[in-house]
Structure 1
Amino acid sequence: MTDFFDGRAYAQEKEEKLKGLVSSLKKKGITLKLVSLIIGDDQSSILYQHLKKKAAERIGAELEIINLKSEAKTETIAQMIRDKNSDKTVHGVMIQLPLPDNFSKDDRNDLIYAIDRNKDVDGLRKDSMFTAPVVRAVFDALGSQDKSLKVAVVGAYGFEGKKITGKFKEMGFKNLFEIGRASSGYETLLRQADIVVSTTGRPSLIKPEMIKKGVVLIDVGSPVGDIAKDCYDKASFVSPVPGGIGPATIANLIENMVEGVK
């Protein structure tokens, strides 16, 4: 029988706790506010932003969404970020990733590092004061695990994959398979893995024949899962898409903002 991580229940429980903290801050004259910049018109990103906004509103916080055209200049956006950094009524600043194709990796990094590390509630900077919400969600879903287990991170060299891989290393997991687009023989590695975390954004990349029975599956794909649903019957535990890491990540983002002020 397969057990499932219920990210929606996780988020709801966390939001209930956060409501009390936000209410206490309001009594001190502090209304929490997160500013999120979205560049371009990617529909998945737009949907995700609105989910974040609803989550913030449910606990009594504000989320200001700034929509920018894909033609916006990097320096113009960076200046907007710096303006929000200096605004004392703003407690968190983030940019929605991925950026449009016309933005280079250097452009992305320029925008990320324009965010004050003390307001980087999405944990985008390497020196952020906050753990990335998606990383927290993955490890909360996993719970306590034997450090000797074999772990495969698919998409290990991507933006989120690097952070997740780094956390496994920090926690002392020694048998870690880092799988990227150019990795050869990755199916053999997957079949050995006790835990598979996938964060490529490639729908149904992982098929049942690639995994062993009893594996733990953590799907970080968005908006469609990386792990084909017919894999679930072979697994002992699954964090699915939808309803797994996504809602938990949003709850952790909001919690980071609250913790940063508290």
Structure 2
Amino acid sequence: MAELLKGAAVVAAMNEKLTAEVAALKEKGVTPTLAILRVGERDDDISYERGATKRCDTVGVAVKNVILPADVSQEELMKNVEALNNDNNVHGVLIFRPLPKHLDEEAVRQALKPEKDVDGITDGSLAGVFTGSGSGFPPCTAQACMEILDHYKIDCKGKRAVVIGRSLVVGKPAAIMLMGKNATVTVCHTKTVDMPAVARQAEILIVAAGKANAITKEYLAPGQVVIDVGINVNEEGKLCGDVKFDDAEPIVGAITPVPGGVGTVTTSVLVSHVVEAAKKHCN
């Protein structure tokens, strides 16, 4: 029976730390502030916005909402991004994507200053992850995987780690961050030959395949630590991960549940980035 690496315990520990850091900043006259820039009224954006606002409230981070109509012009959107870049009272900016089709998302992404890019979407932030320079912030989901490993005291040094998926949002940054923890890292993708055999070699397995229940028992080995990044809806309409949980639980040493695992921690990572940005701004 695998140990469940639940996100709630990680979030509780992060909240405690963040609450103290926010209080210290407020004593210096600085209120860490997240600006949420939303275009239109997509249900999933509104749901995430609600969750992020609640998590910010919990630790004392302020939220500034910038809501633009779905038919906003590129020029008007860019003006809003620039205004947030130049607002010294805003420390982090979350831009909901994908943007409506008529907008140039790439231009918007690159217009945001990396020091305010708390969601890790700019090239400047990704360069910071890859070079270790500390510029910008890593993508929240990739960092959430690291926060779980840290919280449960899973030492990566010298371990064989396999990352399934090579997206810029999770796979690639997670692989680099694991290397930063001195793991020996292999990245698998759709062109990998005999992926199950590669995955079975892993002591730490991070799965961001983007497909429900894609990772079955053939990919798993006894004692593995499995971090399941996937959030999918199965045929019964229930949330499930990229790892077939019923296959994994009797085999592996530890696994993150879905729901209640990585996704739970991701929003707290976003909030922690806002607090970190405020601390950098102070200095």
Q: TM-score normalised to the size of structure 1?
A: 0.85
1:157 aligns with 2:167: yes
CA deviations over 1:161-191 (Å, ceiling 9, x no partner): 12112222333333x3312234343233223
User: Within 2, Cα distance between the matches of 1:194 and 1:147?
Assistant: 11
One-letter code aligned to 2:145: V
User: Within 2, Cα distance between the matches of 1:42 and 1:151?
Assistant: 37
One-letter code aligned to 1:115: L
Q: State the partner residue of 2:203.
A: 194
- 3-state secondary structure, aligned to 1:55: helix
Q: State the partner residue of 1:254.
A: 271
- 3-state secondary structure, aligned to 1:234: coil
The answer on whether the counterparts of 1:219 and 1:225 sit within 8 Å (CA) in structure 2 is: yes
Percent pairwise identity: 28
Query: Deviation of residue 251 (structure 1)?
Result: 1.4
Query: Deviation of residue 94 (structure 1)?
Result: 1.8
1:131 aligns with 2:123: no
Q: State the partner residue of 1:26.
A: 26
1:241 aligns with 2:238: no
CA deviations over 1:66-97 (Å, ceiling 9, x no partner): 44555545554333211111112211112234
One-letter code aligned to 1:232: E
Q: State the partner residue of 1:122.
A: 119
In structure 1, runs of 5+ residues without a counterpart are none
Query: Deviation of residue 197 (structure 1)?
Result: 0.7
Distance 1:19 1:155, change over 3 A: same
Question: 1:182-221 counterparts in 2 under 5 A?
Answer: 182-221=191-230
Query: Deviation of residue 52 (structure 1)?
Result: 0.9
Give 2:231's match in structure 1, choosing from 222, 229, 235: 222
Q: State the partner residue of 2:128.
A: none
One-letter code aligned to 1:138: C
Distance 1:27 1:164, change over 3 A: same
The answer on whether the counterparts of 2:140 and 2:270 sit within 8 Å (CA) in structure 1 is: yes
1:102 aligns with 2:95: no
Distance 1:191 1:60, change over 3 A: same
1:141 aligns with 2:148: yes
One-letter code aligned to 1:88: N
**Aligned pairs, how many?**
258
Query: Deviation of residue 236 (structure 1)?
Result: 0.3
Q: State the partner residue of 2:9.
A: 9
Root mean square deviation of aligned Cα: 2.6
User: Within 1, Cα distance between the matches of 2:199 and 2:78?
Assistant: 40
The answer on whether the counterparts of 1:94 and 1:115 sit within 8 Å (CA) in structure 2 is: no
Distance 1:87 1:243, change over 3 A: same
Distance 1:202 1:71, change over 3 A: farther
Distance 1:149 1:79, change over 3 A: same
Give 1:179's match in structure 2, choosing from 169, 180, 188: 188
Q: State the partner residue of 1:84.
A: 84
Distance 1:17 1:194, change over 3 A: closer
The answer on whether the counterparts of 2:142 and 2:171 sit within 8 Å (CA) in structure 1 is: no
Q: State the partner residue of 1:169.
A: 179
- 3-state secondary structure, aligned to 2:253: strand
Distance 1:207 1:45, change over 3 A: farther
User: Within 1, Cα distance between the matches of 2:219 and 2:20?
Assistant: 45
Q: State the partner residue of 1:55.
A: 55
One-letter code aligned to 1:56: C
Distance 1:153 1:40, change over 3 A: farther
